[in-house]
Chain A
Amino acid sequence: MSINRKYVPIVVTTSLFLLMFIAGSFRYNGFFSPQVLLNLLIDNAFLLIVAVGMSFVIISGGIDLSVGAVIALTTMISASLVQQLNWSPIIVIPLVLLIGALLGCGMGAIIHYFKIQPFIVTLAGMFLARGLCYVISIQTITIDNPFYTAMAQTKIRLPGGSFISISVIIALVVVAAAIYIAHYTSFGRNVYAIGGSEQSALLMGLPVAKTKILVYTLSGLCSALAGVVFTFYMLSGYGLHAVGMELDTIAAVVIGGTLLTGGVGYIVGTFFGVMIQGIIQTIISFEGTLSSWWTKIVIGLLLCLFILLQKVLSARQAIFKS
């Protein structure tokens, strides 16, 4: 059986996910149920949304370290506006999405027009967003607005007795939209082209400036949307929410088979990357004796492993070509 070379990372990721699920099912009672699978989606809906935005950034050859901080800022702004100023969620949610998109757009413009490395600009963006959280409040702001609690508690029943939350539907819609944008629009093709070689894309007459800025805007928008979903999930705003989410997101994208050098990657891969992280958390919670800090360590190691795998694969590909 021969698989097209470009699908190898996705096949590895998907098989790893299935393998972990099967192993978990044999090891723990009650692991093998549709609800456990759906819980992966429920608990990681926000991660899925951020990872989709990050996929575009990484495919374009950049990186966005500000995502976790933008999520925290979104929860903080939503919480303070809804809770302390009694604004309606109908105004607040579009407003925070706009703020996220504007932040991303600003960072993208600085990265493109002044040719500063993406990581330093987004690192500054990360500290700016976290700093703004603290400016709003150092404390946690709990939300008891009926709209938010309704969004958090509504369960959509599925046939067979299992259920999902509204966040899951938002996340799945984002994934579907991202697949369409990445593979069936000229914007998506431009992103891949820039990731492959920015110089060539420029010489081909592709709108490099517009695409690069849009990519970071999209990532900012996704982070803000993830922040909204995270607010539904946590029902609070706090400056230290989603600390370290950058690594989780980058890990999900890389485990999903997207090359850090840009130009190669699939949104579907990212989806399974997120699911693998979810299943690690589930296994650790089923194990019971391991503390939750292991999650971070395991994800770090897995990320490391996949990067090395990428190195090996691309090295072999280079030999293959020559």
Chain B
Amino acid sequence: MRQLYKHHLFWPVAILFSLLLFNFIYSPDFFSIVVRDGKLYGSLIDILNFGAPLMLVSIGMTLVIATKGIDLSVGSIVAIAGALSCLIISRGNDQNTLSLVLSAMGMALLLSLFLGLWNGLLVAKAGIQPIIATLILMVAGRGIAQLITSGQIITVNSPKYAFIGTGALAALPVSVFVVALMLAIALLLTRKSALGLFIEAVGCNPEASRLSGIRSVMVLMLVYVFCGLCAGIAGLLVSSNVSSADGNNAGLWYELDAILAVVIGGTSLNGGRFYLIGTIIGALIIQTLTTTIYMIGIPPEITLVVKACVVLIVCLIQSETFRKTLVHRWNTRHYTAEREATSHVNQ
């Protein structure tokens, strides 16, 4: 029992279950799933489908945060990728040809890889703090997305493109398989090869890991490129789901949701360890929370406030100082000089 309680997935899973339980009590048909035209429909399926972009972005964000970094530009990359692929498809003669759709998606993913590389270069090569380096793309990226869409909302009429966002494969949404694929790749790379260890090492101490023979710069770049790719795929899912691209609002505030998912999943913002499965559960919690807020009739505008409070509370719980305050064990691990100085300050 104690082992179960100590497991790093215990709290995320417990939160998810209590949310689902609340929904079950509030409205029992929350769990009903019906089959129509070979597709499954129901609130749970919706959570999986609408949560897919967030899960993708969060997978990339987890690896970035594991290196003690942060990527604020994911929302902008989501918008740019969606905008570019919709632009290319809308320019085509026949919007439904497979080659056009594939090349549009390929171009968008290539661009998002490049944007990830840009972030990586700034962080790893130029040594700029990740928060500032990615802030550049967060705001400049919205400009780029609007430049691509010329400030309009581009709509496309292409069932083939809509397939990845709304289609079904073996009765489940396609997006679920996309997430599963990316998660599998991330898990294989980090848990079955030494890369995961390298990422954690760089997160703990980049200089020490460089001296011990890890190519820190390479690892950092790789992580940001992967995060860019994940955000790009998420952008395709988002734009394909609504068959349109909106440079202003697509992927708006994905940064907070992704950081929130990662933090709820148990990954520390101080870097050095990460839990991909925890992140996925964290993303599911956020999506369930959003669905719940809609369902019980609280105005959806409050979602942002609730999320901000949740992220703050989770960060406080993770903060060692805060936990110590709670258990009334002040100053146990402070240095003597620091204690004297702080006690002087507090007087």
Instruction: Give A contacts to B, CB under 8 Å.
Output: 63, 110, 113-117, 119-121, 123-125, 127-128, 130-132, 134-135, 138, 199, 202-203, 205, 207-210, 244, 246-248, 250, 260, 291, 293-297, 299-301, 303-304, 307-308, 311
Question: Does the CB pair B147–A120 fall under 8 Å?
Answer: no
Return the contact of A135 from the options B142, B301, B309 (Cβ within 8 A). Answer: B301
Question: Does the CB pair A244–B142 fall under 8 Å?
Answer: yes
Question: Does the CB pair B70–A247 fall under 8 Å?
Answer: no
With most chain A CB atoms within 10 A of its CB, the pick from B70, B308, B345 is B308
10 A-B residue pairs with Cβ-Cβ distance under 8 Å, sorted by A, are A63-B132, A115-B319, A116-B316, A127-B304, A244-B139, A247-B136, A291-B150, A294-B147, A304-B136, A311-B128
Chain B residues near A299 (CB, 8 Å)? 139-140
CB distance from B137 to the nearest CB of A (A): 7
Q: In the complex the two chains form, what is the Cα distance from A115 to B255 in whole Å? A: 22
10 new A-B pairs (CB below 8 Å) besides A116-B316, A199-B338?
A119-B131, A124-B256, A128-B305, A128-B309, A131-B306, A247-B135, A247-B139, A291-B147, A294-B143, A307-B132
- Tell yes or no: B181 within 8 A of A by CB: no
Known: A291-B151, A300-B143. A114 touches B322 (CB 8 A): yes
Known: A114-B316, A202-B341, A300-B139. A307 touches B301 (CB 8 A): no
- Tell yes or no: B170 within 8 A of A by CB: no
Question: Does the CB pair B315–A127 fall under 8 Å?
Answer: no
With most chain B CB atoms within 10 A of its CB, the pick from A199, A244, A300 is A300
Question: Does the CB pair A113–B321 fall under 8 Å?
Answer: yes
| Majority secondary structure, B binding face | helix
Question: Does the CB pair A131–B308 fall under 8 Å?
Answer: yes
Q: Among residues 206 to 259 in chain B, which have CB atoms less than 8 Å away from a CB atom of chain A?
A: 253, 255-256, 259
Q: Give the size category of B's interface with A.
A: 35 or more
Chain B 259-293 near chain A by CB (<8 Å), digits 1 or 0 = 10000000001000000000000000000000000
- Tell yes or no: B144 within 8 A of A by CB: yes
Known: A121-B312, A130-B304. A135 touches B299 (CB 8 A): yes
Question: Does the CB pair A209–B346 fall under 8 Å?
Answer: yes
Question: Does the CB pair A135–B305 fall under 8 Å?
Answer: yes
Q: In the complex the two chains form, what is the Cα distance from A301 to B140 in whole Å? A: 8
Question: Does the CB pair B147–A209 fall under 8 Å?
Answer: no
CB distance from B70 to the nearest CB of A (A): 7
Chain B residues near A116 (CB, 8 Å)? 315-316, 319
Chain A residues near B305 (CB, 8 Å)? 127-128, 131-132, 135
Known: A114-B321, A132-B305. A297 touches B144 (CB 8 A): yes
Among residues of B, the one whose C-beta sits closest to the C-beta of A138 is B301
Q: In the complex the two chains form, what is the Cα distance from A208 to B338 in whole Å? A: 11
Question: Does the CB pair A110–B312 fall under 8 Å?
Answer: yes
Q: In the complex the two chains form, what is the Cα distance from A114 to B303 in whole Å? A: 25
Question: Does the CB pair B140–A300 fall under 8 Å?
Answer: yes
Question: Does the CB pair A210–B345 fall under 8 Å?
Answer: yes
Chain A residues near B299 (CB, 8 Å)? 135
CB distance from A125 to the nearest CB of B (A): 8
Question: Does the CB pair A134–B345 fall under 8 Å?
Answer: no
